A and B are shown apart, each in its own frame.
Chain A
């Protein structure tokens, strides 16, 4: 609640205080009415903003309010498609105030104050010749709003974008003065935008404290009249530590060894051992995977598998185990592909890291690809904002952030960076970008050798074919049904795409049959107008030639692919319909006859103006005019005469076929190069326009690429041409001076260990988040983190060895009376055991846990997540995370929802958890397995066995009461009860289930 005054103060600055007070008070409560008022500030706040600077006058204010609430949405939904930037039916634009004032062919559309305005007549359907919108009359309510708006002066903040001072749509880009007053100067005062300072360690609690952390904590406790809880016993501390650092239970042997260890540095030794264990990265990597919404499928409507996402997961695990400095860790995730690197391994890690940007829940099926692209950018910004900076940047997509100093311009400044990054490859259902996995030196040598052998074989084949043709071999006259046609079989001057000059980013493909040579290339429907392929056939002697192009036809192609022919008399552009099957032999389409000089001619296929589909470039063929391609083929056929000759041809033919088969096999055996999910900078990098109200098709101001103004200390570096700015963005976020980055991360680490963040909203350091309970401690940790080379392990070590971490979690009435929520850490927070630890413990205690480190874990041959059977016994961190289909144990025990970024987990108590624990066949099977193994141990009494089982599951011996209950469950009551070994297994399995179900297992005390 204490963020209240600060928020109010800032909101008062722009006249929203009254509404904001409601917003604030009620957003903290469940009263429905209150919440809706809070909501209305978020939704409608923009209503009041534009009028604050210039026009205090009430009528204008009212007019603007109507405009924002009713008129603008109606214009966007019903009018601007035909009267906007793209089309101006009747010469009229309704996307700016100037547009309607100037009007169209029929004159001004609106005269402020005039109820006879043309636009009102049109929407009122007063005149049959002028009924707008044509599809149907607007609701009466909207028409009334238009009328009222015109009456009150038709206030419209949308300035013309054509003029010199283009400011676009003001709900998106606020006017200058307003933006300043709201966004930067006011917001910068907020605590989280202040530079991190290293405060002095308080002198307090000398008797108790063992580290700087303890001094900070004790000093606050003292102020509040609280005293720290006593230390926990070694059993509890050990269990805490094992699960917190490795996610696995300590074995009974490890427990006994530690409890009996009398060394003064027993704790330090153990902490260091666990930090060095590979399991540390598996546990902490998973923490990070929550933060970055890691998943192995795209989710949503038509979910697609991410078959290579596991590489990112392994990269994260590995980075924690190496203790990769956090500044590098985040830089690699944002801009790994743009970083210098020392060796191939480093390059692989850097590229792999950028999968961070591509792992979002994206609806690749969306049909409007412009919107899809902006949705991807939005998801990336949202994740970066929350994960690294605790900022909800996403709000600013449609309007200036209502609570934090993030104007829409900042959003689009950052969005430009990601719009300049290639993240997606389009088709009906689009796909994320991939890049071939760089080869190691040995793999590269292997590959080159293979390529050489291939080239040699190709030469052999060429010779064999020449011999065959000379002997009178007959080229096929129709290639229908053939996948690829060898250029050597075509009589004419052939230039394949592999010999052409390629401008822009073309994708190689062999997907659709019917092409010349080894492949064709396509433009992926991207960068229209920027991609060209130039073929230069060598014309042997001046004359008239027929020009033919080949392409593999398909329904998704463009119908108007421009082919430009430079000939002796100038140039011509012929449009080719690549949807239609080529008319000559199913392979070639003739473009006509042209005169050429001797020497290289020039034919250019481009994707200019091809908005209707994919453009294919495959091959260009010149044939002397008058000779048809088919005719040429026939000529060779007629040359065939005698039986002898035919037999001879067959010999050559057999040889060609043999070599072709061999070549085919060899091509198949090319050493595989797996794909990586990774980004690259786009072919065209560019600043982008503000999208008005977040609508991709409504352009506002063009905004230079940059970062959040409120968290900047200098200007964003000028970007060199052709770079997206991602590297610069990453450098800005990871800069030691950045006020948020280190604070957000140390707070996360604190949360993961202490169960509650110093800022309790770990993903929100904005004004709607909570204020830090211990701002000095937070800054102390943050500054130390940066000084210690952003080492995560060092920070963890310091926290877990503190006295604060060692406190008992039990409540005492006196302390509860003062600090019920344990805001001041007078006790340790009890933590819920996460889903992964529940599953790993079950497997581990049954002796079934497979501890293989790293590597893919999706079953081979899986093409869709639905119906996937989760049978793996590897650690939970390696279990595939599908967005629409999680293993049941994850689903019921509050595993992080991979559909949203979230650095904290919920802790629910629902019946499905209990049903799982009581009845799931895996629980039954694992506990029976554990029981069998227990009975095989050289333990001599039931009491020993009960004690051992307790150590395994609860990491402590049984209490008196537990021992009594357990004994009555285990020991046959009389001779009538079955005392066979099978019955014993059943009884111990029951005990194990009780242990897994009981409260003491579910929590880390």
Chain B
């Protein structure tokens, strides 16, 4: 169970960085390995992991469960009728329960696969993979508005500044590739919490998510910041780097064995290597055409998200621990947020259906799906009734659907149910905290034991909550 190097105790006491690590490391006259401690070194999980890495496909804005995977015949029967619903937003604001117009899905549902899972006509490609998927149809969460719910999804808190799921995973497991960051988020949104959704908060900075590109810019330009330098010739860059090595070596000679200084030197060496390795990984040109086509690259509607999904696979293959793919923009009302004109769900489904299906198929054919956990979902679902008697649906944190694949979850399986309208989760309820606990469990980490001392007490991703959803474990 002694997962962490004991030297790390220094990290948690103050400063949470290399400073203390070094100060105290210098101190330890104990025999020590020649290599300086690397807090990012890959660690074995405390118990057998089902998944080694995660790809989170974030559908920002809240896709509607009753128009995608959670089929409700009742909506057709009662379409147009006024019924009483305890709407989350109305309740928070007015503490009243009101009548709303039942709103049937404009899309047809069909059963797919051996498991007979219902999928609407929005996702014809994903539908072909239902026998590999594990649906969570009894999801519920905290936060009625986008900002709070998005932060809750990523950090387990609607308001307090907490580390992102990816940072916790990286803190727990380290990374398997020294030349790459361990937690990458592709084209993240700047809105609804922005960087806080991939931030390390009080964890040491080495655990922060690295943004590659940003929402609203094409995936072809997605890159890690400051990785390229077109202002200085390659030759001069090399000369400069060699001179720096000499300067640093001379200065270090004045303070032999100083680990803090060595860490800075190492950060330059890593940066130098990243300049070479990262562009190769993000460059999709070398991918065969049939693979690109699987992801929908070459087709205008699916090009951009297809690229993200393919980059995600390549990053995972290269040893990145946690990759988030974002179907996002920077607005206060993000993409899937159809308060009116529900028909627009079709655009978003079109843009993401084939890329996600391609990712699933590609991971599977490479044998990666076995130990890669794919997670698809939004920050909440939508109401089964019309918002303000209009043409769209409002936010619904009470009941919604996410799906998983690979990494130790049952396949061709559906867990949990919402009520007859698809409003409240009623059985197999999985709170976002529960899902966080389960995700860590799948990675081989006990969510109650992955803690960090901050502000005089230990913190964890799931705060004081979270029950592992054992029913979905393969």
User: Nearest Cβ distance between residue A3 and chain B, in whole angstroms?
Assistant: 11
Of A263-271, A437-445, A716-724, A958-966, the one touching chain B: A958-966
Chain A residues with CB below 8 A from B239, complex form: 969, 990
Of B74-82, B229-237, B318-326, B359-367, the one touching chain A: B229-237
**Residues 906 to 932 of chain A near chain B (Cβ within 8 Å):** 906-916, 918-921, 924
Contact between A769 and B225, CB atoms less than 8 A apart: no
Interface pairs (26), CB distance under 8 Å: A30-B6, A30-B8, A32-B449, A42-B458, A135-B426, A136-B429, A301-B146, A301-B148, A302-B332, A365-B148, A368-B92, A403-B457, A768-B456, A884-B194, A885-B194, A910-B205, A910-B267, A914-B268, A914-B270, A918-B229, A919-B229, A924-B229, A986-B232, A994-B240, A997-B247, A999-B264
Of A450-458, A592-600, A698-706, A814-822, the one touching chain B: A814-822
Q: How far is the CA of A375 from the CA of B1 in the complex (A)?
A: 38
User: Nearest Cβ distance between residue B206 and chain A, in whole angstroms?
Assistant: 6
B244 on the interface (CB 8 Å rule)? Answer: yes
In the A-B complex, list the 3 residue pairs whose CB atoms are closest, starting with the nearest: A301-B147, A820-B27, A768-B456
Contact between A918 and B226, CB atoms less than 8 A apart: yes
Residue of chain A at shortest CB distance from B261:
A999
Q: How far is the CA of A392 from the CA of B455 in the complex (A)?
A: 7
B204 on the interface (CB 8 Å rule)? Answer: yes
B252 on the interface (CB 8 Å rule)? Answer: yes
Chain A residues with CB below 8 A from B159, complex form: 300, 361-363, 366, 375
Chain A residues with CB below 8 A from B284, complex form: none
- Per the CB 8 Å criterion, the residue count for chain B at the interface is 108
A35 on the interface (CB 8 Å rule)? Answer: yes
Task: Decide: A300 near B226, CB < 8 A? Known: A914-B270, A965-B246, A999-B252.
Answer: no
The 0/1 profile, CB within 8 Å of B marked 1, for residues 344-374 of chain A is 0000000000000000011101111000000
Task: Decide: A136 near B27, CB < 8 A? Known: A301-B147, A366-B159.
Answer: no
Contact between A136 and B225, CB atoms less than 8 A apart: no
Contact between A911 and B456, CB atoms less than 8 A apart: no
Task: Decide: A915 near B243, CB < 8 A? Known: A866-B191, A999-B248.
Answer: no
Contact between A33 and B147, CB atoms less than 8 A apart: no
Q: How far is the CA of A904 from the CA of B15 in the complex (A)?
A: 7
Q: How far is the CA of A832 from the CA of B263 in the complex (A)?
A: 13
Contact between B451 and A39, CB atoms less than 8 A apart: yes
Chain A residues with CB below 8 A from B247, complex form: 962, 965, 994-995, 997-1000
Residue of chain B at shortest CB distance from A867:
B190
B195 on the interface (CB 8 Å rule)? Answer: yes
User: Nearest Cβ distance between residue B299 and chain A, in whole angstroms?
Assistant: 29
Contact between B93 and A367, CB atoms less than 8 A apart: yes
B5 on the interface (CB 8 Å rule)? Answer: yes
Contact between B6 and A29, CB atoms less than 8 A apart: yes
Q: How far is the CA of A828 from the CA of B135 in the complex (A)?
A: 59
Contact between A905 and B15, CB atoms less than 8 A apart: yes
Q: CB within 8 A of B270: which of A884, A911, A991?
A: A911
Contact between A885 and B458, CB atoms less than 8 A apart: no
Contact between A915 and B271, CB atoms less than 8 A apart: yes
Q: How far is the CA of A867 from the CA of B275 in the complex (A)?
A: 25
Task: Decide: A959 near B250, CB < 8 A? Known: A43-B464, A760-B14, A919-B228.
Answer: yes
User: Nearest Cβ distance between residue B122 and chain A, in whole angstroms?
Assistant: 27
User: Nearest Cβ distance between residue A672 and chain B, in whole angstroms?
Assistant: 29
Chain B residues with CB below 8 A from A363, complex form: 147-148, 158-159
Contact between A761 and B15, CB atoms less than 8 A apart: no
Contact between A913 and B232, CB atoms less than 8 A apart: no
B340 on the interface (CB 8 Å rule)? Answer: no
Contact between A906 and B205, CB atoms less than 8 A apart: yes
Chain A residues with CB below 8 A from B4, complex form: 30-32
Chain A residues with CB below 8 A from B28, complex form: 820
Q: How far is the CA of A897 from the CA of B266 in the complex (A)?
A: 25
Chain A residues with CB below 8 A from B271, complex form: 911-912, 914-915, 918
Residue of chain B at shortest CB distance from A893:
B205
Q: How far is the CA of A514 from the CA of B80 in the complex (A)?
A: 35
- Per the CB 8 Å criterion, the residue count for chain A at the interface is 96
User: Nearest Cβ distance between residue B30 and chain A, in whole angstroms?
Assistant: 11
Q: How far is the CA of A908 from the CA of B227 in the complex (A)?
A: 19
A433 on the interface (CB 8 Å rule)? Answer: no
**Residues 618 to 644 of chain A near chain B (Cβ within 8 Å):** none
B108 on the interface (CB 8 Å rule)? Answer: no
B412 on the interface (CB 8 Å rule)? Answer: no
Contact between B460 and A39, CB atoms less than 8 A apart: yes
**Residues 266 to 321 of chain A near chain B (Cβ within 8 Å):** 299-303
Number of A-B contacts (CB under 8 A): 284
Chain A residues with CB below 8 A from B89, complex form: 367
Chain B residues with CB below 8 A from A905, complex form: 15
Chain A residues with CB below 8 A from B228, complex form: 919
Chain A residues with CB below 8 A from B202, complex form: 900
Chain B residues with CB below 8 A from A924, complex form: 229, 231-232
Q: How far is the CA of A35 from the CA of B445 in the complex (A)?
A: 14
Task: Decide: A961 near B46, CB < 8 A? Known: A31-B1, A302-B145, A365-B147.
Answer: no
Contact between B1 and A913, CB atoms less than 8 A apart: no
Q: CB within 8 A of B92: which of A367, A908, A962?
A: A367
Contact between A906 and B161, CB atoms less than 8 A apart: no
Interface centre among B146, B202, B232, B457 (most CB of A within 10 A): B457
Contact between B17 and A906, CB atoms less than 8 A apart: yes
Task: Decide: A367 near B145, CB < 8 A? Known: A136-B424, A866-B191, A999-B248.
Answer: yes
Contact between B226 and A907, CB atoms less than 8 A apart: no
Q: How far is the CA of A365 from the CA of B17 in the complex (A)?
A: 34
Main secondary structure of the interface of A (DSSP, over half): loop
Task: Decide: A811 near B225, CB < 8 A? Known: A301-B193, A962-B250.
Answer: no
Q: CB within 8 A of A912: which of B14, B226, B241, B451?
A: B226
Q: How far is the CA of A592 from the CA of B260 in the complex (A)?
A: 82
The 0/1 profile, CB within 8 Å of B marked 1, for residues 867-908 of chain A is 100000000000000001100100000100101100011111
Q: How far is the CA of A136 from the CA of B423 in the complex (A)?
A: 13
Q: Residues of A at under 8 Å CB distance from B?
A: 27-33, 35-36, 38-39, 42-43, 135-136, 299-303, 361-363, 365-368, 375, 392, 395, 402-403, 611-612, 760-761, 763-764, 766, 768-770, 810-811, 816-817, 820-822, 830, 832, 866-867, 884-885, 888, 894, 897, 899-900, 904-916, 918-921, 924, 959, 961-962, 965-966, 968-969, 986, 990-991, 993-995, 997-1000, 1002
B346 on the interface (CB 8 Å rule)? Answer: no
Contact between A998 and B145, CB atoms less than 8 A apart: no
The 0/1 profile, CB within 8 Å of A marked 1, for residues 160-175 of chain B is 0100000000000000
Task: Decide: A39 near B456, CB < 8 A? Known: A300-B196, A816-B26.
Answer: no
Interface centre among A33, A817, A910 (most CB of B within 10 A): A910
Q: CB within 8 A of B226: which of A366, A909, A915?
A: A915
Residue of chain A at shortest CB distance from B191:
A866
Chain A residues with CB below 8 A from B191, complex form: 866
B110 on the interface (CB 8 Å rule)? Answer: no
**Residues 170 to 212 of chain B near chain A (Cβ within 8 Å):** 181, 190-196, 201-202, 204-206, 210
Task: Decide: A365 near B195, CB < 8 A? Known: A301-B150, A888-B225.
Answer: no
Contact between B225 and A766, CB atoms less than 8 A apart: no
Contact between A35 and B15, CB atoms less than 8 A apart: no
Contact between A909 and B195, CB atoms less than 8 A apart: no
Q: CB within 8 A of B240: which of A302, A810, A990?
A: A990
Interface centre among B161, B243, B265 (most CB of A within 10 A): B243
Task: Decide: A361 near B161, CB < 8 A? Known: A301-B193, A961-B250.
Answer: yes
Contact between B264 and A1002, CB atoms less than 8 A apart: yes
Chain B residues with CB below 8 A from A392, complex form: 455-457
Contact between B453 and A999, CB atoms less than 8 A apart: no
Residue of chain A at shortest CB distance from B93:
A367
Contact between B2 and A909, CB atoms less than 8 A apart: no
Chain B residues with CB below 8 A from A367, complex form: 89, 92-93, 144-145
Residue of chain B at shortest CB distance from A555:
B388
Contact between A965 and B243, CB atoms less than 8 A apart: yes
Contact between A832 and B144, CB atoms less than 8 A apart: no
User: Nearest Cβ distance between residue A12 and chain B, in whole angstroms?
Assistant: 20
User: Nearest Cβ distance between residue B202 and chain A, in whole angstroms?
Assistant: 7
